[in-house]
């Protein structure tokens, strides 16, 4: 492998900070012009530690940009009917512009039914079947936050993506599938690799843009990456090595020095996800209130 590490580090943390600053101005502007404050409701069922950390971070950052935050913590034995009743209330509440149900839900709840009970124009996760369909057919969708953040960083780096070969490794509903749709909408030639794909390394080597979202520590090796490719690493994996715990991505970062640019883990895609959730909430507010100017359009 190369001795020299020549790839640029894509600074997701800095990118997210800039986006948050812009959103803070946007929210101030909205308050001045309409007298209203955009609001995000987050629903957490149970006390999963990782989910609780994410929900606290969302609450804190929502308040930090001047929006309203409504956190609903429900007991782990909440029934489907009770959860649906809360969503009906939130769908109707005018002060709530965005709704997010933290996943995973406890096993006794029907996740798809819950997601599809959210009013699509408040579905700031972009997981509702109608938003998935809108994205697939080029209509104004609310777009899942993680792939939206990845696309913003790719466009910032590359400008037009038209004609590029993009390989997305992982086909989840949350990242892989919407990422592929977004790249197709940018006129990339897109291939999606997954656990049954025959020769993933060979496919990755064809990629001008390589997005990896599989949740397997350092799976993508240096010799899977074409020289000059732009690599987006969505993985966040905690591993134990040399007796200590650290966070690594799905790409062997130290072997990727011949890429033209790569997102580090941590500090790459991760910080963009909550920033894009806030962006989606502002977008949802603007669409609900029919405030859509070019300057104010956050969605790429």
Q: Please give the residue ranges that form the binding site for ligand GUN (CB under 6 A).
A: 100-103, 125, 145, 174
Instruction: Kindly name the residue from 123, 125, 208, 233 that is annotated as catalytic.
Output: 125
C-alpha–C-alpha distance, residues 214 and 171, integer Å: 8
Report the residue number, 102 or 181, with the smaller CB distance to ligand GUN. 102
Q: In angstroms, give the least distance from the CB of 257 to ligand GUN.
A: 30
Minimum Å gap between C-beta 51 and ligand GUN is 7
> The tokens of 274 are what?
């909550």
C-beta closer to ligand GUN: residue 145 or 211? 145
Q: Which residue is nearest to ligand GUN (CB)?
A: 103
Nearer to ligand GUN, 6 or 113 (CB): 113
Residue 103 beta carbon to ligand GUN: minimum distance, rounded to whole angstroms:
4
The secondary structure of 62-85 as a DSSP string is: HHHTT-EEEEEEE-TT--HHHHHH
Catalytically annotated residue among 58, 122, 177, 226: 58
Q: Which of 74, 80, 139 is nearest to 110 (CA)?
A: 80
Burial of 225 (0-12, 13-18, 19+ CB in 10 A): buried
Active-site pick, 26, 61, 102, 250: 102
79 is in an annotated binding site: no
Answer yes or no: 58 catalytic. Answer: yes
Assigned token pair, 294? 């070019």
Task: Please give the structure tokens belonging to residue 99.
Answer: 């709704």
- 80 catalytic? Reply is no
Residue closer to ligand GUN (CB basis): 7 or 275 = 275
d(CA 12, CA 265): 10
56 is in an annotated binding site: no
**CA–CA separation, 149 and 156 (whole Å):** 11
**Residue corresponding to tokens 């040399």:** 242
| CA-based nearest residue to 101, from 82, 73, 121, 133 | 73
Closest CA to 273 of 234, 299, 229: 234
CA dihedral 15, 184, 173, 23 (to 10 degrees): 30
CA-based nearest residue to 143, from 126, 122, 155, 129: 126
* φ, ψ dihedrals at 190, nearest 5°: -110, 135
118 is in an annotated binding site: no
Beta carbon nearer to ligand GUN, 118 or 225: 118
CB of 252 to ligand GUN, least distance (A): 24
Please answer whether residues 270 and 17 qualify as being in contact, where contact means their C-beta atoms are separated by less than 8 angstroms: no
Q: Least distance (Å) from ligand GUN to the CB of residue 211?
A: 16
Is 160 marked within a binding site?
no
Q: Is 68 tagged catalytic?
A: no
Annotated binding site for NADP(+): 170-172, 236
> Residue ranges for the binding site?
170-172, 236
Give the residue numbers marked as catalytic. 58, 102, 125
């Amino acid at each position: 492998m190369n001795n020299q590490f020549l790839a640029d580090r894509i600074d997701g943390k800095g990118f997210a900070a800039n986006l948050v600053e812009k959103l803070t101005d946007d929210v101030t502007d909205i308050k001045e012009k309409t007298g209203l404050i955009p609001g995000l409701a987050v629903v957490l069922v149970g006390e999963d530690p990782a989910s609780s950390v994410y929900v606290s971070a969302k609450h804190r950052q929502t308040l930090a940009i001047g929006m309203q935050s409504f956190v609903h913590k429900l007991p782990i034995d909440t029934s489907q009917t009770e959860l649906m009743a809360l969503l009906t209330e939130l769908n109707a509440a005018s002060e709530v512009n965005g709704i997010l149900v933290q996943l995973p839900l406890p096993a006794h709840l029907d996740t798809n039914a819950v997601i599809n009970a959210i009013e699509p124009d408040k579905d700031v996760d972009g997981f509702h079947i109608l938003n998935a369909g809108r994205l697939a057919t080029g209509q104004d969708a609310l777009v899942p936050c993680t792939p939206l953040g990845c696309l913003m960083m790719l466009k910032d780096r590359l400008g037009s993506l038209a004609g590029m070969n993009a390989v997305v490794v992982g086909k989840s509903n949350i990242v892989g599938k919407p990422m592929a749709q977004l790249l197709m909408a940018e006129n990339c030639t897109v291939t999606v690799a997954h656990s049954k794909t025959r020769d993933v390394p060979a496919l990755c080597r064809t990629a001008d843009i390589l997005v990896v979202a599989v949740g397997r520590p350092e799976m993508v090796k240096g010799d899977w990456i074409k020289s000059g490719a732009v690599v987006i690493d969505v993985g966040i994996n905690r591993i134990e090595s040399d007796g200590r715990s650290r966070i690594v991505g799905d790409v062997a970062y130290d072997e990727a020095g011949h890429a033209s640019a790569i997102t580090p883990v941590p500090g790459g895609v991760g910080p963009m996800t909550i920033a894009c959730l806030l962006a989606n909430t502002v977008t949802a507010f603007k669409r609900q209130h029919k405030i859509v100017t070019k300057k104010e359009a956050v969605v790429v």
